[in-house]
Amino acid sequence: MPAPTEITPAQLLRLIGTPDAPALIDVVTEADFAADPHVIPGAIRIPHDRVLDLVPRLRGTRCVVYCQKGLKLSQGAAAMLRCEGVAAEHLAEGMVGWRALDGAPRIPHAALPAPVGGATLWVTRHRPKIDRIACPWLIRRFVDPAARFLFVAPSEVPAVAERFGATPFDIEDVAFSHRGPHCTFDTMLDVFDLHGPALDTLARVVRGADTNRHDLAPEAAGLLALSVGLSRQYRDDLDQLAAGLPLYDALYRWARDGQGEGHDWPAGRAA
C-alpha cells in the first residue's frame, strides 16, 4: 500500500513544467550523484542533514524530496520537513524510478549556472517580445523556479552580466543565443537536455514567431500577435513577464495534451 506521503514518478511527471509543480529537493548522496550527475528539473540539491535550512523557503509550498532509491534519506528528510510544518512528500523509488520512467527529463547539473544570492540570475535586452519571455518561462518551469531576470539596455547586457554575476541570454556572442536557424529557446532545450514531444512542439511555435517563419507552425502568427500586444500593454518588463508566463503555461499544456482538440460549434455548420 503506497504511503500517504509518497508520490510516484508518473504522478510527478504530470506536474513538472506546470504552475502546480512542487518544490523539488535532491538529497542523493555524493557517491550516487557522481555516478549520474543529473537532477530532476527545478530541483534544489542539498545534503539530507541540511534540509531544515530550506524551511523558510518552503513554508506554504508543497515539496517533494528524492534520494537514489526513495528509502531512508528522502523519507527521513521529508518527515523532518513535515515536523516543521512543510507539506513534504518523498518520491517513490527515487532517482532510480525517475530514470526508468519514459519521457522523464533530467538536467545535467553542470549545465546549471551558479546561483547568485540563492537563485540563478539572468540578464537580457529590455522590451522583450518572444524569446525573452519564452526563455524565462522555460527557466522558471524547468530549471530554477526562483530564477530572477534583469532587463537592461542592449548595450549594457555584457557589463551587467560581468558586474552582477548574471548569465546573459538572447544577445550575440553568448552561450544562450540563436544558433543558425534556431532561436535561444531551442538552445536552452539543447543545453539543459529538455527535448521531448511537448517542448519540441512549443519550440517550433516559438521559433516560428521569433524568426518570422510562420510556416513552421500555424500557431506562430498568433504567438507573435499576442507577444506584440503584451509588449504594448506593459511599460515595466517584469510586469510583462508576469503576464506572459500564463500564456506559455497554456501553450505548453496545449502542446503536451491538447493538440488533438478542435472547436466545432455550432454543430453541422458548413466546412
- In tens, the pLDDT along 209-243 reads 999 999 999 999 999 999 999 999 999 999 999 99
- Cell representation of residue 42: 527545478
The pLDDT value recorded for residue 260 is 87
**Tens of pLDDT along 141-184?**
999 999 999 999 999 999 999 999 999 999 999 999 999 999 99
CA 98 to CA 38: how far, in whole Å? 11
Same-domain check for residues 220 and 252: yes
Domain that holds residue 184: 112-257
pTM of the model: 0.96
Residue 4's pLDDT band, with cuts at 50, 70 and 90, is: confident
The pLDDT value recorded for residue 269 is 64
User: How does the average pLDDT of the chain come out, rounded?
Assistant: 96
Q: Evaluate whether residue 135 is within a structural domain.
A: yes
Same-domain check for residues 151 and 233: yes
Q: Which residue has the cell 495534451?
A: 257
The pLDDT value recorded for residue 271 is 52
One-letter amino acid at 263 equals H
Same-domain check for residues 207 and 121: yes
Rg of the chain over Cα atoms, rounded to whole angstroms, equals: 20
Q: Evaluate whether residue 271 is within a structural domain.
A: no
The pLDDT value recorded for residue 266 is 83
Same-domain check for residues 223 and 148: yes
One-letter amino acid at 83 equals C
Tell me: pLDDT of 270 over 70.
no
- Cell representation of residue 192: 539543459
The pLDDT value recorded for residue 120 is 98
Same-domain check for residues 29 and 96: yes
Q: Evaluate whether residue 48 is within a structural domain.
A: yes
Same-domain check for residues 138 and 203: yes
Same-domain check for residues 153 and 45: no
| DSSP string across 204-269 | HHHHHHHTT-TTS-THHHHHHHHHHHHHHH-SSHHHHHHHHHHHHHHHHHHHHHTTT----PSTT-
Name which of 157, 161, 141, 148 is nearest 120 in CA terms. Answer: 148
The pLDDT value recorded for residue 3 is 78
Same-domain check for residues 184 and 229: yes
Beta pairing partners, 176 = 169
Q: Evaluate whether residue 89 is within a structural domain.
A: yes
Tell me: pLDDT of 259 over 70.
yes
CATH number of the domain bearing residue 80: 3.40.250.10
Number of domains forming the structure of the chain: 2
Same-domain check for residues 124 and 211: yes
**Tens of pLDDT along 99-112?**
999 999 999 999 99
For the packed helices 237-257 and 131-138, what is the interaxial angle rounded to 10 degrees?
70
CA 197 to CA 220: how far, in whole Å? 17
The pLDDT value recorded for residue 113 is 97
Tell me: pLDDT of 18 over 80.
yes
Same-domain check for residues 46 and 124: no
Residue 265's pLDDT band, with cuts at 50, 70 and 90, is: confident
Same-domain check for residues 162 and 222: yes
